[in-house]
């Protein structure tokens, strides 16, 4: 994916980032994670001319807490949707801050700056983006369960801003992966961390995407499968998941509202 292909993905990257937030926006206490988000914000406010770096002790502590899947996204827990959403918001906001640092010029995101930021801040993004992928995957079944419990008339009146932002976040993660693949500045190990997370979560993410939107990650994965590289099984998992045309719950809600 070089030349015009990379430019296309960079443009998609910026478009997705502009609307990227998780599925819901309610707040609920998660003390350690919230404190990490506040610490990250304080570091940014103290030095607005630069971004906090993983090599700095205070920043490292905040970033590692924000990206701690084992503590905040355990496999079995009674965590609810608002709590998950709050954690996802913090991690996603930090990731977007790295991706867009200095990129907003004259009211527009400059694609080349976003791509450069992906390389410059790859250590930080390698922590945050996999967490965001897993966090959204944890939200999807909870959101589906919520919809099943609601009266159909209420569902029909739901505002879709949160759902659309969640869809944009998922697609942004794939766009980020696509721009990283041909970029020699980004280490293979960094790419693998995001690929691992997306291969793990694709069968869940697909349920939150409109059928037409699934073509973007499906085509990306399909192209990589055809290259027959060592990561083929992971790409195959994504391609298979995104080839699914079944549309229920979140997908149906989006489809009924023109998305």
Q: Report pLDDT digits (tens) over 184-202.
A: 999 999 999 999 999 999 9
pLDDT tens profile 64-98: 999 999 989 876 667 778 888 889 989 999 999 99
Would you give the DSSP letter of residue 108? E
Question: What backbone torsions phi and psi does residue 10 show, to the nearest 5 degrees?
Answer: -60, -40
Q: What is the pLDDT of residues 129-163, one digit of tens each?
A: 999 999 999 989 888 888 888 777 666 556 556 67
Q: Which residues pair with residue 105 across a beta bridge?
A: 108
User: Do 217 and 175 contact (CB within 8 A), yes or no?
Assistant: no
Tokens at 57, concatenated = 């002790």
Residues β-bridged to residue 108: 105
Contact (CB, 8 A) for 142 and 84: yes
Helix (H, G, I), strand (E, B) or coil at 125: helix
- The angle, 0 to 180 degrees and rounded to 10, between the axes of the packed helices 111-120 and 161-180 is 70
């Amino acid at each position: 994916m070089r030349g015009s292909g990379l430019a296309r993905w960079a443009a998609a990257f910026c478009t997705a980032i502009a609307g990227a937030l998780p599925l819901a926006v309610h707040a609920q206490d998660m003390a350690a994670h919230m404190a990490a988000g506040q610490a990250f914000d304080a570091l940014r406010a103290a030095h607005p001319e630069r971004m906090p770096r993983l090599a700095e002790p205070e920043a490292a502590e905040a970033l590692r807490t924000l990206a701690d899947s084992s503590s905040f996204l355990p496999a079995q827990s009674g965590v609810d949707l608002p709590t998950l959403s709050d954690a996802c918001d913090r991690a996603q906001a930090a990731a977007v801050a790295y991706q867009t640092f200095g990129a907003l010029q004259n009211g527009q995101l400059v694609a080349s700056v976003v791509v450069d930021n992906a390389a410059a801040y790859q250590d930080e993004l390698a922590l945050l983006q996999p967490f965001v992928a897993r966090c959204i995957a944890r939200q999807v079944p909870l959101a589906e369960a919520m919809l099943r419990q609601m009266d159909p008339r209420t569902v029909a009146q739901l505002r879709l801003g949160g759902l659309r932002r969640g869809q944009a976040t998922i697609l942004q993660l794939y766009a980020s992966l696509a721009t990283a693949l041909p970029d020699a500045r980004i280490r293979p190990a960094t790419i693998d961390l995001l690929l691992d997370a997306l291969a793990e979560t694709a069968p869940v993410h697909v349920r939150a995407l409109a059928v037409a939107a699934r073509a973007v990650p499906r085509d990306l994965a399909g192209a990589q499968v055809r290259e027959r590289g060592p990561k083929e099984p992971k790409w195959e998992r994504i391609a298979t998941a995104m080839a699914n045309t079944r549309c229920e719950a979140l997908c149906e809600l989006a489809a009924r509202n023109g998305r």
